[in-house]
Chain A
């Protein structure tokens, strides 16, 4: 990073700063770029941990009646895997990108509340560490300690003291409560920054799509994370103050936990996907050499998705016994949300159409994202049809569907984003060859695992089972699914190796290696602490296009 270079003014060498000093700087930083990098490091570390948990599960399921791990450990694995991946991998990485990019893209010098920003990060980090302390803390003896084993959505009354004595549920509740406050803090920051700190000339209609998508995402976080906080407070009241919110023996309702959780849980997945759309919306135009097709509709579709997403939650509860009218409402809202989502896919396609496509790593991952997200959305429509859901729900079909979205959709765009902005953040180019190795290994592994995972669901295999009976026709499929894990692991290793090696030995990248059009490419790589020497003034959505093409600027057409 430029601020800790050991080359001083006029080329004189000054002594490198002690490690403790550098560490202190990082721990106390309030700079949005540094915090972004801290989020990345945190998220990527937990990606490896969550991946190991997945590998353990898949190895246990490679054949029926396997005994690699006990049922107790397996149940902890799927709980920890889900909780980790959602709250301590994807959310931190996406917040990291939001933190790093939003101020740069709107021509600001930092976020609106830098100290709140740092506080939010450390809250999330603490939440993650606290969750993992459960493996060694608590009763800490039987195999894997007292890690949560109630599933990542922790249905009542399994979480009541009667059915979950000990502290496993409490680790789940408290770690998410704490990191939830961190997420709300970051969301407040994103909203305030976006609404108040745009550079002159950048009206809301001229913001990059990434900024729009993160704004809507932040709004969803504000509205959606709070129900989870409320429900978790109620759970704590039940477990420790003798309350009866979810105590079915006292007339309480297990179903109301499901409603509260999914009122959070469904918008949460849109919180995860909107930034992914953001990455695709920045990368696809640049690598197709064309402006985004239909910017206004993309914004409208995003806002529509944000609103509708708050009304679809009970499609996770079609089997719970709601009335036919209730089921019908949620079928309609679920299918309705497919419309703006599908429109976005068409817009990306139209951006590529008639363009000039460069197959660099960011674009490869985005093209794969388009195919995979299309399929994931379609299996989602299948699941949205309630009677079909009565068969497919709670089965491996659902597991395949949501991994298709989260891995095939979100993780692919996250990889694309890492490659795309790596030169800006580090000032160096990554190895394109190694990136392509990563891509192909990961794509093969992804499809081996998650394409074939749909089949056991269609053949009646429910989820969250530590083993299964032979003779149900599930054996071969499970075997293939497990094999894919090895390819994905190899791909991720290639990715990590690329990041590390290129950081130290990559070719120096200039400020604009991709010939791109948004503001962050106008400053150095990496940007100075203050981002811009003078605050830019913009006239269109692609300020750098205007500079590079003064004969044909965007503002003539917008």
Chain B
């Protein structure tokens, strides 16, 4: 029990930012409470049975002063066997009923009208987020308001993925041609981490999740900024020209420009994000430049090809992207 308590220190920084015993959202909380019951039952069984085992191993060992006779042969005992059949059945029933309650409360939770909806689309190896009705499309960093339920619809553009942010909810898979639903209801602001939990190919390990839970005002402001078209300092910059003449626009979208590809992340407000490459590097001009030059260097097996630009072109494109706030 103390291990669980130690693992679940929610007041202090938890042992880990992805600790399942430090829930900050309703579904994760329900699971946590169920897990305490399960752990208690299972722990008790372990202590009792392994205790008996240890005791038997010691008490009935062959002693040095053994007389060489065989011990009494006991072939069975109906009462004992009945007892140790009934007890597990009862335990199973208890656990089953407790589990059923949580399954229904989490999976079949009613959706309050007007609650926020986000569509999550899994890609190899990044996350696409769309807020239908709010005209926002972004990637890799999800923003949610605190204190309200948000319902996520989970889709996939290629293979199977899984959305797992332990402190917010249990994981749910993103499977192509099989839409799934989940919900979160965070009660504390902050940045919550996770990552893809279903093997999806070479860079499964670096498909990280960053969920920013903010106050309603901050969230609304973020939505407002994201919904706007691209704002950039220098509309006729060299970098923008290279970007729009190269294959970049086939994969990426920059709202309000000819770039409207959907294979790669939306870059309209790239500089509003703290990280690039789905969480693997800080969003600095140096990292951006290195990424565009050769994504494989930061994320070997990434599906973005090296663009074969010269140093000058790279500088220009990086400057353009760095202006997309």
Contacts and interface: CB of A to CB of B under 8 A. Distances in A.
Interface in A283-329: 288-291, 293-297, 319-321, 323-324, 327-328
B19 A473 contact: yes
Contact of B201 (A158, A327, A473): A158
Given A459-B7, A460-B20, A356 B71 contact: yes
Given A374-B46, A549-B70, A473 B99 contact: no
Contact of B158 (A157, A349, A462): A157
Contacts of A290: 70-74
Given A297-B81, A374-B49, A549-B70, A255 B175 contact: yes
Interface stretch (B165-173, B248-256, B263-271, B308-316): B165-173
A469 B35 contact: no
Given A336-B92, A385-B99, A467 B205 contact: yes
Given A468-B205, A471-B17, A157 B159 contact: yes
A139 interface: no
Given A253-B177, A349-B49, A387 B30 contact: yes
A296 B53 contact: no
- Among A71, A319, A367, which residue has the most Cβ atoms of chain B within 10 A? A319
B56 A349 contact: yes
Contacts of A378: 42, 45-46
Contacts of A432: none
A393 B92 CA distance: 20
B84 A385 contact: no
Contacts of B172: 319, 321, 390
B171 A394 contact: yes
A281 B270 CA distance: 64
A233 B95 CA distance: 39
Interface string A400-425: 00000000000000000000000000
A353 interface: yes
A346 interface: yes
A203 interface: no
Interface string B21-54: 1000000101100110011001001100110110
Contacts of B198: 155, 319, 394
Q: How large is the interface on A (under 10, 10 to 19, 20 to 34, 35 or more residues)?
A: 35 or more
A151 B198 CA distance: 10
A464 B204 CA distance: 8
A391 B178 contact: no
B178 A462 contact: no
Nearest to A395: B197
Contacts of B52: 349
A115 interface: no
A333 B194 CA distance: 31
- Among A297, A335, A554, which residue has the most Cβ atoms of chain B within 10 A? A335
Interface string A483-525: 0000000000000000000000000000000000000000000
Q: How large is the interface on B (under 10, 10 to 19, 20 to 34, 35 or more residues)?
A: 35 or more
B contact face: mostly helix, strand, loop, or mixed:
mixed
Contacts of A358: 62
A391 B50 CA distance: 27
Nearest to B37: A385
Given A321-B173, A387-B30, A473 B92 contact: no
Contacts of B62: 356-359
B171 A387 contact: no
Contacts of B88: 338-339, 342-343
Given A255-B178, A321-B178, A459-B7, A381 B34 contact: no
Nearest to A292: B75
A473 B17 contact: yes
Interface string B217-251: 00000000000000000000000000000000000
Interface string A328-364: 1001100110110011011101101111111100000
A163 interface: yes
A381 B95 contact: yes
Interface stretch (B102-110, B113-121, B286-294): B102-110
Interface in B186-219: 193-206, 208
A251 interface: yes
B89 interface: yes
Contacts of A395: 197
Interface in A450-465: 458-465
7 contacts: A321-B173, A356-B60, A356-B62, A387-B99, A391-B20, A472-B193, A474-B16
Interface of A: 70-72, 75, 151, 155, 157-158, 163, 248-249, 251-255, 288-291, 293-297, 319-321, 323-324, 327-328, 331-332, 335-336, 338-339, 342-343, 345-347, 349-350, 352-359, 367, 370-371, 374-375, 378-379, 381-382, 385-395, 458-469, 471-474, 549, 552, 554, 557-558
Given A319-B197, A331-B96, A342-B84, 19 more contacts: A71-B202, A72-B300, A75-B202, A157-B176, A248-B176, A254-B160, A290-B73, A328-B100, A331-B100, A331-B103, A339-B88, A367-B53, A385-B35, A458-B21, A462-B195, A463-B197, A465-B204, A469-B208, A472-B17
